[in-house]
């Protein structure tokens, strides 16, 4: 098994902390900011703008559909993975070229939104919002591939932690910052300023270097089927042969590669990916409703859960990155799974206490700290599963799968609360996190067994 999963300490605490001083790691703060900034501008912030324009609530609800682009980005990830862009590929390279193009699309979409009055042209607003969302999802695909390929895998925890920090900062600017600007300077000016903030990502892309990645020889052996297809289909027109060959290499091979590399464990790994975030996503659906029902006013919710929670998440992510460099991925991943499930029990306790600012702050601290650790470890784990020949496609598959089941189950959260109350709901949210814990333990056991078998052969 890869040394990345070694359960023994891999480096000193000093070296583990110093990883955050590496330029490649620091750059992820700015790229993460560029990834987080567009998200709320087509969701919560845009909903606030449409509401002030007296747009009907049903239309505002339909606008949330633009977010489907983030869930289906795996459909065009193979294009980002394998297709060089004219001029940009030679100038910047494939990963940076796609990020640059996507960032240009985000800026163009935000400027277009700023130039439209929703009450006069709601269709135009929807189209520009779709441009922003599509470009943002495309940027995510290219950025994830860049993050994985630019540095050694043992530093992926630190890269993930810095990315999370930048992403959260982008959400803060696009959320609270844009609302403040919208109130005092008008929505059009707010969105123009948000568009200018994307310069942070554009400048970073121009300053960093392109990953130097060479395809694995095993990949060429697997893709020999593409060559065989081309040879055996010489009698067919190129208009048919070449697109099919591209589809085999860009779409089919990334999936067959994953199953060939992981064998019988492939389905277990995919199952683990699909359940890891069940506990926190399910709880998060009802979080704000819970705070309000417990008597907390909006200012208290904002100050503690948003502002204070923001810094606790950053601290948790940074700590997760250090733990991964120090101990490898699996033990921090196990710790994160246990903490996320356990903190839901604290919410159950809070449900019995009622309105208590001190208790809320303690629970939010524990929840965001554990969430930061778990997210950093999980992103590093997903990154380790990819083959650098298919980075963008495989990571897009994993990131889409990790929210599919949790979001589906999260839809039943309100029904459970109405039928059984918040206390039982949070107990339920904690219990459904147990499978993730058990699967981590199983994966660790299999890795140790495989490692022992290899050592015996040696």
Same fold across 1-213 and 251-458: yes
Cα distance between residue 244 and residue 84, in whole Å: 18
409 contacts 287 by C-beta, under 8 angstroms: no
Write the pLDDT tens digit of every residue in 351-375. Answer: 999 899 999 999 999 999 999 999 9
In the chain, where the domains are located: 1-213, 217-250, 251-458
User: Can you give the length of the chain in residues?
Assistant: 458
CATH T-level topology, domain 251-458: Growth Hormone; Chain: A; (1.20.1250)
Q: What is the pLDDT of residue 2?
A: 41
DSSP letters spanning 40-70: HHTTHHHHHHHHHTT--HHHHHHHGGGGHHH
Q: What is the pLDDT of residue 244?
A: 67
Cα distance between residue 174 and residue 133, in whole Å: 14
- Residue 297 reports pLDDT greater than 90: no
Question: 297 φ, ψ to 5°?
Answer: -80, 170
CATH T-level topology, domain 1-213: Growth Hormone; Chain: A; (1.20.1250)
Write the pLDDT tens digit of every residue in 398-429. Answer: 888 887 777 777 777 778 888 888 899 999 99
Count CB neighbours of 87 within 10 A.
Answer: 9
Q: Report the C-alpha dihedral over residues 329, 428, 398, 261, rounded to 10 degrees.
A: 60
Mean pLDDT over residues 135-149, rounded?
95
Q: Quick one: DSSP state of residue 58?
A: H
Q: What is the pLDDT of residue 252?
A: 76
Write the pLDDT tens digit of every residue in 204-256. Answer: 999 999 998 765 545 545 555 555 545 555 555 566 566 766 666 667 778 88
DSSP letters spanning 163-189: HHHHHHHHHHIIIIIHHHHHHHH-HHH
356 contacts 305 by C-beta, under 8 angstroms: no
| pTM more than 0.75 | yes
User: Which is more confident, 63 or 143?
Assistant: 143
- Residue 80 reports pLDDT greater than 70: yes
Provide the pLDDT confidence category of residue 118 given band limits of 50, 70 and 90: very high
């Amino acid at each position: 098994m890869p040394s990345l999963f070694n359960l023994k300490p891999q480096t000193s605490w000093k070296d583990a902390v110093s990883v955050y001083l590496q330029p490649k790691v620091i750059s992820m703060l700015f790229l993460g900011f560029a990834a987080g900034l567009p998200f709320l501008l087509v969701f919560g912030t845009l909903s606030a703008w449409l509401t002030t324009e007296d747009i009907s609530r049903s239309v505002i609800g339909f606008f949330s559909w633009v977010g489907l682009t983030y869930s289906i980005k795996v459909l065009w990830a193979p294009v980002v993975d394998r297709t060089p862009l004219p001029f940009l590929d030679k100038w910047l390279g494939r990963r940076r070229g796609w990020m640059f193009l996507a960032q240009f699309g985000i800026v163009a979409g935000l400027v277009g939104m700023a130039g439209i009055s929703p009450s006069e042209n709601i269709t135009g607003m929807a189209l520009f919002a779709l441009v922003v969302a599509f470009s943002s999802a495309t940027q995510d695909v290219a950025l994830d591939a860049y993050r994985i390929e630019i540095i050694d895998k043992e530093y992926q925890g630190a890269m993930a932690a810095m990315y999370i920090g930048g992403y959260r900062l982008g959400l803060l600017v696009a959320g609270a910052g844009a609302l403040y600007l919208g109130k005092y300077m008008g929505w059009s000016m707010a969105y123009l300023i948000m568009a200018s903030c994307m310069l942070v990502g554009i400048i970073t892309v121009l300053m960093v270097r392109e990953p130097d990645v060479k395809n694995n020889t095993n990949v060429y052996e697997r893709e020999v089927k593409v060559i065989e297809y081309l040879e055996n289909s010489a009698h067919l027109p190129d208009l048919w042969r070449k697109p099919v060959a591209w589809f085999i290499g860009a779409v089919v091979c990334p999936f067959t590669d994953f199953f060939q590399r992981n064998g019988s464990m492939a389905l277990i790994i995919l199952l683990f990916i699909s359940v890891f975030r069940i506990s926190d996503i399910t709880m998060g659906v009802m979080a704000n409703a819970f705070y309000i029902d417990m008597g907390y006013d909006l200012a208290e919710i904002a100050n503690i859960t948003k502002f204070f929670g923001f810094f606790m998440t950053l601290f948790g992510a940074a700590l997760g990155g250090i733990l991964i460099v120090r101990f490898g991925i699996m033990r921090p991943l196990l710790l994160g799974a246990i903490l996320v499930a356990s903190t839901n029990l604290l919410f159950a306790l809070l449900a019995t206490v009622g309105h208590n600012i001190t208790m809320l702050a303690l629970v939010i601290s524990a929840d965001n700290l554990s969430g930061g650790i778990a997210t950093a470890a999980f992103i590093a784990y997903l990154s380790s599963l990819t083959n650098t020949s298919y980075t963008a496609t495989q990571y897009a598959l994993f990131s889409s799968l990790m929210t599919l089941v949790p979001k589906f189950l999260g839809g039943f959260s309100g029904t459970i609360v109405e039928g059984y109350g918040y206390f039982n709901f949070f107990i339920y949210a904690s219990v459904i996190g147990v499978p993730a814990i058990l699967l981590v333990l199983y994966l660790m056991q299999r890795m140790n067994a495989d490692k022992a078998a290899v050592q015996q052969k040696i």
